Structures are given as structure tokens and as C-alpha cells.
Amino acid sequence: MPPENTQISKKSKHIKKNKTDVHEYTEEKKKEIDRVIFCYVFQQEYQQIKKNNSLQETYEPKIQNVVSTVILKMKTKTGGEEIDKLDLDNLAHTSQNCEYKKSRFPALIQRIKEPKSTALIFEAGKMVITGTKGQIEAEEAARKFKKQIEKNNRISIEIGDIQTSNIVANSQLPYEVNLLKIHDDRSLQGSISYDRSAFPGLIYKMQNPKLAALIFYSGKIVFTGAKNETQIKDAYCQLFNILKKHSQDKNNK
């Protein structure tokens, strides 16, 4: 039986030849991956909203989740040849705290406790890290996930630049808001949608800064889509007075 490193080298050559494989990382596939990531993160944040309804000590937005994206540059350990895709099936069977059902979700989901975070690992080498509170935690998590992938696939990985793709923050206002009045307020610039039968919150897609605010009757606001903290603070300052105009004091119903 040939040495394991020889098998890996042959496998990588085979992958490089099949450039027309259905799993090729095309622009269309990138868009589909981005859509899947958004749906996953949105679902996780909504579940967290339902679990935690307590008031914050301050009305200022508090960062709950930073979503970071990194491209993994993969090579064989011996020959240094580039590898086009990861063996997620092998990674799922040899790693802890992970799940992978390709028929339901195209990425392997892996979790670590410190820093508490989750990685969505795609076979094309794209990794999305969620659950961290900032850039430093995201970098630490990326290094730990990298070691797990290298160990169980016996390859060498170089981490590219870690880009912040989404910051999620929330705030609790001291008053309740009338969502129907906000929906009918024509002075607001941006896209507004509100269908209580489908989702309990009003979705306000702001133009400047470009992000979305999920506004709930209780006065809770969830900001998502921001690239930095400044955008969240700017959005909060704009919304505070607007929502105050359509508010109802919780103590005077």
C-alpha cells in the first residue's frame, strides 16, 4: 500500500483536472452560499430574540454576534499542490461537535466552546464564523477551526483575510411602538415591510447606513447587515426619535 501522502497527492491532482465538476465554485454558487448563510444567521438570531426578552441596562445597541468570512487556501502537506475542495464527509466523521447533512444544508457545521462560536465550512474552502463578539475573537476561532480541518484532512491551510460580513446588535427602548403607524409613515426613506401573520416584527431596510432594523412592538430593535459599529450607532440615532414619535409609554396604557 502506498504512503498516505502519496494518496493525498493523487487525490488533489484528480480534483484539479475536474474543473467542470458540478461543485465548481461559480458566481452562481457563491450567491447561493450567501443566501444560505443569511437564512442560517437570521434564524439563529430570531431564536435568540425569543429566548431573551430581558431589558438591557442601557438603551444603546449591544453587539450580539459578528459574522466573519474567510477563504481557506488549501494545499497538500507534501507536494504543496493546491486543493480545490475539502472532503466534508471525512471531516464530519473524524471531528467532534459537528454535523453535516448535505441534502439539507451544503455546509458542515462545527462548534467550539472557547471562544463560543460556530463555523459553516463549505467544500470550496469558504468558512463563515458566527457567534463571536468582535474581530479578535473571530481570528482566534478561525485558527482553532483551521487546526481541526488540517488534522482530519491531513492538509496544509493558510487563512486569508478575515472579513466582517455582518454585525448583529440589539437595543431595548423604554417604550412600546405602534408598528402600523411606522409602516404608514411616508417620511421614512427606505423599504418597510410588516406582515404580522408571517413575522412579528417590522423590517425596515435603511438606505444610509445600509442595514436592516427589525422593530418589535415591545420596543426591541435588532440591527443586522452592518459592517462596523459606527453604522449601528448611526442607525440607532436615526431610529430613536422616529420610534419615539410612534411610541406608547409602557406604564400608561
Write down the pLDDT at residue 81: 85
CB atoms within 10 A of CB 137: 18
Neighbours of 178 (CB within 10 A): 15
Cα gap 178→194, rounded to integer Å:
12
Which amino acid belongs to residue 184?
D
**How many Å apart are CA 133 and CA 13, to the nearest integer?**
39
Q: Which amino acid is at 214?
A: L
Identify the residue whose cell numbers are 491531513.
154
Report the pLDDT value the prediction gives residue 155, as an integer from 0 to 100: 87
**Sheet strands (E) in the chain:** 62-76, 98-99, 108-113, 116-121, 126-132, 155-159, 163-172, 175-177, 190-193, 202-206, 211-215, 220-226, 247-249
Q: What is the pTM of this model?
A: 0.69
**pLDDT tens for the chain, residues 1 to 253:** 444 444 444 444 443 444 444 444 566 666 666 666 656 665 665 555 455 544 344 578 999 999 999 999 998 887 778 888 888 998 888 888 899 998 899 999 999 999 999 999 999 999 999 999 988 999 999 999 999 888 877 789 999 889 999 999 999 988 899 999 999 887 777 789 999 899 999 999 999 999 999 999 999 999 999 999 999 999 999 888 888 888 876 555 5
The pLDDT of residue 41: 62
